[in-house]
Amino acid sequence: MNPLAETAGSITSEVTFPIRSYRIINGRRTLAPATIPKAYTKQPGHEFLRMSDLYDDEELSVELPLSSAQGSDSFQLIWQGRVTWESEIQVVGAPGVKVVRVPRREFIDNVGLDVQVTYVITDTTGTPHTSERLTVTLDPYPYTLLPPQIHGKDVTVQYSGQSSTHIARVDVVRFTTGDRIWQSDWQPMFDQQNYWATFTIPNNVYNANIGNPVFINYAINPAPANGTTLMFSRYLRVTLR
């Protein structure tokens, strides 16, 4: 997957940038903030997302206004949520609006939270110039879906909305490739005090991935009788031992 792409043509009417995307102050560029086309509400320096608009998306596009950048400059997006994700460093080449694609796990990991988004342009002298900050709020689910826990091969799940009408499923994804290495069967989330649902990773899967970093999260189906719209938990990032 190439996380960076260039947007061809002019900026659409939905996204408006200043005529100049930066000013020079004491040798430093003052750079306009990034923007997110899928934001349903845009305020100066603050944009809002909802998961219903991102439900099937594997990536989130973030636009950087680099029309006034130099072709020899390089740029990088910084996504500061529960953890910090940084895009690959790329050379600007032809100035214009650049699109950086944030992986799905990084926006799912921040449902109900604020993310601080900036980008850094580095000029040919090696001087970095950091953009103005964009705060991105991802609307919360009705329930807080905290990361699962792991004890040996057992992944355990508990959240604030568990009910016998809710079912849960665990996914384990390899960090290096993004491939899913295991998905559990669905289990009911019984409405009992201090109840934890346990999902056991099979021996062959676990043993084949000892020493490898993985992402683990779970999906909740709150109304399986009425459809398959899922909610997704934050991620546990762990190396299997």
Would you list the DSSP string of 52-117? Answer: HHHTT-SEEEEEEEETTS-TT-EEEEEEESSSEEEPPPEE--S-EEEEEEEEHHHHHTTTTSEEEE
Domain range spanning residue 70? 4-138
> Are both 208 and 227 inside the same structural domain?
yes
Q: Which of 103, 138, 173 is the endpoint of a domain? A: 138
Q: Are 138 and 38 in contact (CB under 8 A)?
A: no
pLDDT band of residue 21 (cuts 50, 70, 90) is low
* 130 lies in the same domain as 12: yes
> CB of 215 within 8 A of CB of 172?
yes
**Contact between residue 39 and residue 54 where contact means Cβ atoms under 8 Å apart:** no
pLDDT tens digits, 44-102: 999 999 999 999 999 999 999 999 899 999 999 999 999 999 999 999 999 999 999 99
Residue 94: Cβ within 10 Å count: 10
Q: Is residue 143 part of a domain?
A: no
In the prediction, which pLDDT does 12 show? 28
What are the Cα distances from residue 4, in Å, to 11, 63, 90, 106, 148?
17, 10, 8, 16, 31
pLDDT at 26: 46
One domain, residues 130 and 156: no
**Could you tell me the CATH number of the domain that includes residue 84?**
2.60.40.10
Q: Quote the CA–CA distance of 222 and 224 in Å, as a whole number.
A: 6
Name which of 79, 101, 80 is nearest 90 in CA terms: 101
Residue 22 lies in a domain: yes
* Together in a domain, 124 and 173: no
Residue 202 in any domain: the answer is yes
Residue 189 in any domain: the answer is: yes
State how far Cα 116 lies from the chain centre.
Answer: 12
Q: Once rounded to an integer, what is the mean pLDDT over residues 111-120?
A: 98
Domain end, chosen from 108, 138, 168, is at 138
Asked whether residue 100 falls in the same domain as residue 26, the answer is yes
List, as one string, the DSSP characters of 9-37: SSPPTTS---SSSEEEETTEEEEPPPB-T
CA distances from 96 to 65, 71, 92, 151, 209 (A): 7, 10, 8, 49, 42
Helix spans in 138-230 (H): 203-208
Report long-range pairs for 183-186 (Cβ below 8 Å, ≥24 apart): 184/155, 186/221, 186/224
Residue 20 within a domain:
yes
Question: What CATH number does the domain containing 231 carry?
Answer: 2.60.40
Q: Give yes or no for residue 6 having a pLDDT over 50.
A: no
Residue 131 per-residue DSSP state: B
Task: Say if residue 67 is in the same domain as residue 181.
Answer: no
Q: What is the pLDDT of residues 210-220, one digit of tens each?
A: 999 999 999 99
Q: In this structure, are 161 and 127 located in the same domain?
A: no
Please state, in angstroms and rounded to a whole number, the distance separating the CA atoms of residues 129 and 123: 8
What is the per-residue pLDDT for 224? Answer: 81
For residue 144, being part of any structural domain is answered with no
Domain closes at, from 138, 167, 193: 138
How many residues are given for the chain? 241
CB-based contact 219:205 (threshold 8 Å)? no
**Token pair in block for residue 153:** 């091969």
Q: What average pLDDT does this structure show over 197-211?
A: 97
Residues 125 and 153 in one domain: no
Distance of CA 181 to the CA centre of its chain: 20
- In a shared domain, residues 71 and 157: no
Q: Token pair for residue 3?
A: 């996380």
Q: What is the mean pLDDT of residues 176-198?
A: 93
Residues 154 and 119 reside in one and the same domain:
no
Same domain, 105 and 224: no
The answer to whether the beta carbons of residues 65 and 165 sit under 8 Å apart is no
Band (30; pLDDT cuts 50, 70, 90): confident
The number of distinct structural domains making up the chain is 2
Condensed to tens digits (0 to 9), the pLDDT of residues 126-161 reads 999 999 999 999 999 999 999 999 999 999 999 988
Share of the chain above pLDDT 90, in %: 78
Q: For residue 24, what pLDDT band results from cuts at 50, 70 and 90?
A: low
Specify if 109 maps to a domain. yes
Specify the pTM: 0.84
Same domain, 60 and 155: no
Does 198 map to a domain? yes
